[in-house]
Chain A
């Protein structure tokens, strides 16, 4: 009996010692990202989902989207506490918050940093987003906490350009000058998490920034781990080694992760719209009947069914749904194989036509393209797909080497940007001002340009809708499907807001993000 009591007491004591003093929630977040490595931590050059996701945790803009949203109407103060503009919207003044600190010993944020950052974002030598800032005439600091911006012409959403997205991030001038080219691996911002270290091809470590102007973040440490193997990443999540995981735009993946205990799948905006961009100047696509045949042969519902009901929805226009100026009544045609064949015959291809195209080997994009290939084959349109790696794909489509370009993208949710970059003649690939106009489309330049200068929102929207109708009528592009962003997290992780959308394409981590 004595022995049993002694053993029981020892066991109880051992259990007590083994138990933590209190069941405090954990404060270290481990994120699993589908990446070999992070690319650019300089926000003005951060373009990939891998980079943008983490950059959004380090930096702020003058204004921001309300966490969890991407609605331009819900833009709220960030580094600027208020702003005002002239009646013609060409003159803007931003009043900065006082006492905002940069990470490390880079001191307080001043108007000088803001001017430096915005000029840097508009400079082609230092920014991947310089084209967005083409209308900026002057950016000046009128005092240490006031920034004055003058535009050469109206832009559809100036606030949109200054949000925590793309070129709008504010960097520390001192840090950029100190680190020079190495700033990309020594990022210094004002956000809730500060850069600690980077182990190439392994992980990026961030720590809570105690001096964050919205208060000390509840998470203390964030480890952003690059796990390129999909299977290993899923297993690590399943094994509880990571808390937040980059997912796959694949219904089977969603179903499998949802079935795991303690797991929540996040499906959120923006939807990346995949368009088949048809080069209207290249044979045989220079004949509109061939392009129309392609439009009739594409079966959007089937493509969505293949991608998965939770992750995809049919494209409704040549720009994504939900953008200011987007419309679902732009004249898209439904699948009609007989009509497609008739059009081909009329165009002089009674026995069908073969078109050689270049496409990426990225599994999701390749799979979707193969579905489209099978759909077009029914109408006698044979796509001879040359599969290359993703970097090669990007290089070759910019050299006009593929008459059909499958391209999926999300942009700032105002029609102007998508329309300009993909369908304005100034953006045609090969031109000095090129962006991503692979179709050589120029049929809606007048409407796109007029909308930029229009101050009446209703008229502006009407112009954008008209532009979409013209582009659809000319079949510069055939919309396919929109794929939403897919991540998953453990149930004890609370973002601190309702995640409906994130323009950084990853969940935003804020001062309120915590474990329950």
Chain B
């Protein structure tokens, strides 16, 4: 297993290097001048030039790139062009919120999605199956900014169970948990909708396999067939979808964080993009990429755990 993990980590290095280069070029290819974004419409060309020099943007792009690469490889992502705070500091403050939200949404997605998918498969073409598929279609059809606002109107404005502003008080985990509920449900619903569909189809396929028929003939209990022989084998595509979907969740967290006004990487990256804060954008993209690489790694390891053939 250790060799497997090390091998996967080593193959991630070129990916990260490619991402560093691509990110550096991308943020500069995007039109928009950070100096104008910062100083606005009344600044003279002289003032704009002075700020560009202050930000180091007047230097040759190659110099900027190698400096960025050198610093990034040493773990230094620089300081924000706008806030003058270390990029790492802002990431460190925002990242836990995004991770908590993603994990909570993933948990909701799996807890609702997997049992519902199994249930639907067991009642193929029955009322439960049709209802589950319909609900799943609804879940997929609602963008998070619509379902988020809908939840806010019902649970915050009408029922007064949750606040609209979801910024948790620092150090107060009860408050944090309270304000996590609606955003996590918003994100979790979409994931549950995906997981239901994949679990259902995978389960249907597995339940039709010969070994299941054999197990039934051997007198294995219904519960044993469903949960051990059925679900155990049906989980591989589900894990793939969950792994892939974590990337989508992190992306969707941008909208969720904005709708619920929660801190997180999404808000930081949108802010950096709006203000053309190159260093912050670069840092954020590196972190996003790193997160995706880690999630893929965990997914691969999970395959190994579920299906020992993968390790070979």
Contacts and interface: CB of A to CB of B under 8 A. Distances in A.
Identify the 4 closest CB pairs spanning chains A and B, nearest first.
Answer: A47-B40, A391-B32, A36-B271, A236-B164
Contact of A238 (B32, B157, B261): B157
Contact of A201 (B36, B46, B267): B267
A202 B149 contact: no
Interface residues of B, number: 48
A72 to B, nearest CB: 19
Interface stretch (A120-128, A205-213, A349-357, A506-514): A120-128
B267 A182 contact: no
A125 B50 CA distance: 5
Contacts of B160: 239
B71 interface: no
Interface of A: 36-37, 39-40, 45, 47-48, 124-131, 166, 181-182, 184-185, 198-203, 225, 227-229, 231-232, 235-236, 238-239, 241-242, 388-392, 394-396, 398, 409, 421, 431-436
Chain A contact surface mostly: loop
B36 A227 contact: no
A201 B268 contact: yes
Contacts of B45: 431-434
Interface string B194-230: 0000000000000000000000000000000000000
The CB with the most chain A CB atoms within 10 A, among B40, B156, B261, is that of B261
B149 A201 contact: no
A390 B30 CA distance: 12
Contacts of B267: 36, 201-202, 228
B274 A391 contact: yes
B241 to A, nearest CB: 29
A201 B271 contact: yes
A66 to B, nearest CB: 24
Interface string B238-278: 00000000000000000000111101000110110011100
B270 A184 contact: no
A231 B167 contact: no
Nearest to A434: B45
Interface stretch (B57-65, B79-87, B121-129): B79-87
Given A232-B149, A232-B259, A239-B163, A124 B40 contact: no
Contacts of A124: 44, 46-47, 50
25 contacts: A47-B42, A48-B40, A124-B46, A125-B54, A130-B47, A185-B83, A199-B263, A200-B268, A231-B259, A232-B260, A239-B156, A239-B157, A241-B165, A389-B274, A391-B32, A391-B33, A391-B36, A391-B37, A391-B274, A392-B32, A432-B46, A433-B45, A435-B41, A435-B42, A435-B44
A433 B47 CA distance: 10
A48 B271 CA distance: 14
B6 to A, nearest CB: 36
Interface of B: 30-33, 36-47, 50, 54, 82-85, 90, 93-94, 145, 149, 152-153, 156-157, 160, 163-165, 167, 258-261, 263, 267-268, 270-271, 274-276
Contact of B270 (A48, A126, A228): A228
B305 to A, nearest CB: 37
B261 A394 contact: no
A231 B261 CA distance: 11
A398 B258 CA distance: 31
Nearest to B40: A47
B149 A128 contact: no
Contacts of A40: 38, 82
Contacts of B93: 199-200
Contacts of A47: 39-43
Contacts of A390: 274
Given A235-B152, A236-B165, A200 B44 contact: no
